[in-house]
Structure formats: C-alpha cells, structure tokens
Structure 1
C-alpha cells in the first residue's frame, strides 16, 4: 500500500477524549483473575503435553504431540507479550518475572523481544524506524524490493508464494536472534537470559533425544519448531502487513499513526484465543497496557469513536487478512518480476 501522506493532521485532543472514554469504562484496570486462570490452564496443558511426550515415547505418534506443543509455545509467547506491555501487573518487576519465565519455557529472549517490540509500537509500519519491516527475506515496499540483491532479490520477487513456507523458519529465527542478543550483551539482564535460554536449549534437546530415536528427534524438532513458527507468523502478520506505510518526514499524532497502520481481525472467542488478543490490534496499539481480556469490550467504543471523527477503521476476517497480506506482498514483488 501507499503511504498515508494524504491523511489530515488532527489535534491530539481527539486521543485525549478517547482515553477519557476508555477510562470511564474502567478498561485499563488490571485483570488478575483472568491471568491467574490463564496461567493455570496454560501450565496444565503444557505439563500435559510434555507428559504425553514421555508416555508415548519413541513413536512417530509423538509428532502429534509436537503439533500440540507448537500451539502451547505460541500461547506462552502471547502471555510474554502481555507481560512486556505491563498488562498483567502494575509492577514492572512482576511483569518482567512473568516475561522471563515464559521466555525460558519457549527459548526466547524476553529482553530482546521487548526492546524490538517497543520500537515497533512507537513507529508502526515506518519504513525506517519499525524493526518489523526490516526482515531480510521479505520486502514490504517497492523500495525495499528493488534494493535487494542476489538470493534476497529472488525471494522478494516470489515472496507471496513463499510467505507461508518461510514462516516455518520463524521459530528457529526467534531462538537464533535471542541467543545472538545474549552473546552480544544487547539485553540488560544478559546473564539471567543466558542461563534461561541456554538452559531451555539443553533441556529441550536432552528430552527430545532421550525419548525419541535420532531420526524421530530430528523430525519432531522440525515439526514442532516449524509449526510454532507458522502459528506465530500467522498471528502477527495480519496486524500491519499490507496496511499503509509511513516514510521519513511524515508526522502523525498517536491516534492516526496507530489506527491507520493497524488492522483488526473479526471473530468470536475462538479467534480471540487463537490470536492471543492480537486480533484487536487497533485497540492494542492505542492502549498497549490494556489487559487482553478488556480489548474485546474496548473495540466497539474505539470503532464508534473513529467513525465519529472520520478516521478509517480497518477490520476484516482472518482469511481476508491473509489475502490482503499476500496481495500486498505480490504487488511489492511485481516490479522485480516485470524486470525479468
């Protein structure tokens, strides 16, 4: 999509009025009971999954366990996301404890992810300042596509067709980027994170290779990590990819910057659970510390407010969002295909 340079500048008082409305409904209040239930359910399901893995033993049926654990890793990542935004507790220390714990359970660097994700929230879909648009294997603007060379240029040319296969590598990429950040001391608590992430890797590989045959272990890791990567990519990609991008020099107030670059995914409770509340991306970007359980209640208030002030509010179905993402990626790669 093109940039939002035609969007009119609006006074910041509009967001102030929306914030007042949200506060009147108590939607920024913490939901400790909801998260306590979430911790309990996730803990029981994760323990059940690893218990089933040991009980089933050296059998190809454990690939089904790998698929189940891929779902659970994504659900744990969603909780880590909430902790990074201080949605769970008022205390930063308590949220960080939960974030580091969940990072350890899935082998991610919590500190690395929080730093990158905060920069994304500050400048969503900005060509230069949003780290989520800086993915070597993909191009999100024509300028990015035409600037690539070699294998990366070929990938950009056919990226719409390669998008979902590439997501199979997302899980390994999350592990790799976390390990690299810890080794380079790019995270504040690098000693703690080193113990947690390397402890996870050692425990994970030990369990897999002790229970399964070497061939089964390799296939299990490929299935588990691959499906986890696809799940994570399918949860985050619909949020902004294919929405307007911002260029250097463009200045938008918080309300316009967050709403114009975000996309909501319609659906019921099942979609809320499957996407970890990220389907309410507009509300989440406007109020990052809002507890996940309150996003559903905030959505109609935000949508009505945007319509009242003449601000486009974009929402679609899950399949519609993937269609828009793929269509955008295909369009970005068109100049490269035309040049061959």
Structure 2
C-alpha cells in the first residue's frame, strides 16, 4: 500500500507578545502561585476509581446472575454500564492518553489502555484525537472528527446532498450508534486509512501489529461483554444482546452530545488553508484558530463538569492539553479574560441544553443547499 501523506498545513506564526504567549504565562503563574501540579490530584484519582467501579460493579452483578429473572434490574445494570463507559471515556482514558495523570509516561500509558478494555484501541484514538483533531480542528480533510458518513454533513466545506436537509432530525440516531460502530469496525477502517497516510509511525506500530492487536482486543472485549453474560447471567442470548445495545446506545448518544456542541456550532469559523508558493497556510495562528472553532458550555455546572471530565471547558482543553481537566474551572477565567483583552472570541453557552439546541440549529443550517 503506497503511502499518500496528508498535506502539510502550517499555521501563521504567533509572533511576539501573542495571545498564546500571554495566556500560557498567566496559567503557568497560577500553578506556581498556588504551588499546584498541572497533573492529576487526589480528586482525580478518586474519580478514576468511581468511574471504573461504575462500569465493573454492574457487570459483575449481571454476569454472576444476580439479576436473573428481574428484567428491570438486569437492564438497569446495562444502563449503568453505559454511563460507566461515558465516565471512563471522558474522565479517565481521555486524560491518560493526553498524558495528564502523571509526568511518568508509563503511568499514563497504563491507564490509557483502559480504552482497550471498553473495546477501543489507543493507537488509532491518539492519531485521530491528539494528532489530527487537536492540531487541525474543523479543517476539512484533516480533522477526522468532522469526517463522518456521507449522510451527515459537519462542515460547510463538505459536499451537500438533498438528504442533509433532514440531518438535524436523524443525526441523533447515528449518534446513538457512535460507540457501537467504534467497537466493531471503526478501528479497522482507521488503521487502513492511517497506513495509507503514513501516520502509524507516529505511534511506533506497524500495520500488521496494529491489525493483530485490534483483533486480539476485540476478541477479548466481545468475549467478556457478550459470551460470558450469555453463559452465566441466567438470561437468554437475545436479552444479553438487547442489554449490550442499550449500554452502547446510552454511551454513544451522550458522548456525541458532549463532543458535537464543542465544535459543530454556528460560531465556529471552519477556516480553510490557502495555497501560497506551493504550500498550505492558515491565516491565523494555531491558538487563535482553536479559539475560533471551539465552544464551552455549562461552565457553572459542577456535576456535569465532574462527570464529563471537564470537556465542557473545551477551549481550555484545546489550548492546554497537558493539564489535567480537574484544573480547568480555575484556569478558565484566566483564558477568557486574556482572550477578551486581545479582542479574540471566547465562545461559551450558559447551559448544556442551550449548547445542544444550537448544535441542532447548526445541523439544520448545514443541511441547506
């Protein structure tokens, strides 16, 4: 398979006394003044154990037959596992694979592999999320997060088809299938594409190794998540399958509702690179590009922020991926005041529901010819 490397897109230099230089200095001063580490604290570790238990305890109860014959309890356990998947994905795995648990890379790597336990593959996730999404947010052809199926249009720079008129209605169905698709086919499709674009070297893995590891991880996942419950839960196979789907539909819908309003919004710039002297350039610096394509929501909701790993502070996350999310609520006012002082946008919605409604509005706008 001949490699077709992705085009190199360069952002404008940030320049002296830039926004990013100023905000980085102020955030660093905050940690120094308060004698804090930017890595995980005790609160983060407690949350980690809670999220793992939210997934593991219902599974153990279900697979050992504790809910046999009690349909309400049985499906409630699968439902809780769905929320456990959300918690692991947003508040545990995400931070670990960004390297924010500890300055020790081995600690982050170990915790990051929790993704394999819930059916994913860390190497492809890091390429899609850390390398492509965080570098080229909302840039068509480079940000994998907006490269979806043909039925969904997430950028005004993507081809339009007549059925996109109704995507604001049916997109939610596909959102429910997000994790199910991920845990079955997505990793394989990504590894083929990343091999084509010569991106696997970034994760120090060959194509053959990646295919082998994905297959082993999937066999392990489907073995414990479907085979063991069929054998030992005391429930018929079709109810096991129904519970499994309930878990994934719960996790897929909520995770999509967290991710999508962060970038697929009417306020997002969706800027495209311009070609000059044979090279692709962005008019803005990287940090300003991130501000223009990212939205925070529900900044005052402590419960939501706690559960979704601070991803409602998406601006802070994109600018400071090396800082653990438990610190976002404190550094957010610093980032906001600095952005406004530089005359830059700081997109923020007061509530989660308002952000979702505006995302739905954006889907409708993108559905227009």
How many correspondences in the alignment?
A: 321
Q: Distance between the aligned counterparts of 2:307 and 2:52, measured in 1?
A: 17
Q: CA deviation at 1:194?
A: 3.8
Instruction: Report what 2:15 is aligned to.
Output: 11
Provide, for residues 23-75 of structure 1, a one-character-per-residue CA deviation record: whole Å limited to 9, x for no partner.
Answer: 11116621242332122222333232113323112442211111111000111
> 1:34 pairs with 24, 33, 43, which one?
43
Instruction: Report what 2:271 is aligned to.
Output: 246
> 1:77 pairs with 78, 84, 89, which one?
89
Secondary structure of the residue aligned to 1:221 is helix
Q: Indicate how the Cα distance of structure 1 residues 201 and 183 shifts in structure 2: closer, same or farther if over 3 A, else same.
A: farther
Q: Distance between the aligned counterparts of 1:60 and 1:182, measured in 2?
A: 39
Is contact 1:31-1:291 (8 Å) kept? yes
Secondary structure of the residue aligned to 1:315 is strand
Residues 1:130 and 2:143 aligned together: yes
Q: TM-score, normalised by structure 1?
A: 0.87
More off after superposition, 120-129 vs 89-98: 89-98
> Gapped runs of 5+ residues in structure 1?
1-7, 336-340
Instruction: Report what 1:200 is aligned to.
Output: 221
Instruction: Report what 2:365 is aligned to.
Output: 331
Secondary structure of the residue aligned to 1:264 is strand
Secondary structure of the residue aligned to 1:144 is coil
Secondary structure of the residue aligned to 2:71 is coil
Q: Distance between the aligned counterparts of 1:193 and 1:20, measured in 2?
A: 41
Q: TM-score, normalised by structure 2?
A: 0.81
Q: Distance between the aligned counterparts of 2:347 and 2:102, measured in 1?
A: 30
Q: CA deviation at 1:214?
A: 2.1
> 1:178 pairs with 187, 192, 198, which one?
187
Residues 1:87 and 2:96 aligned together: no
Q: CA deviation at 1:185?
A: 9.1
Residues 1:261 and 2:293 aligned together: yes
Q: Whose helix proportion is higher, 1 or 2?
A: 1
Q: CA deviation at 1:180?
A: 4.5
> Gapped runs of 5+ residues in structure 2?
1-11, 275-281
More off after superposition, 312-321 vs 58-67: 58-67
Instruction: Report what 1:52 is aligned to.
Output: 61
Provide, for residues 227-282 of structure 1, a one-character-per-residue CA deviation record: whole Å limited to 9, x for no partner.
Answer: 11111111111110122211122331122111111000123211102322100000
Instruction: Report what 1:293 is aligned to.
Output: 326
Q: Give the alignment's Cα RMSD to 1 decimal.
A: 2.2
Q: Distance between the aligned counterparts of 2:336 and 2:286, measured in 1?
A: 16
Secondary structure of the residue aligned to 1:295 is helix
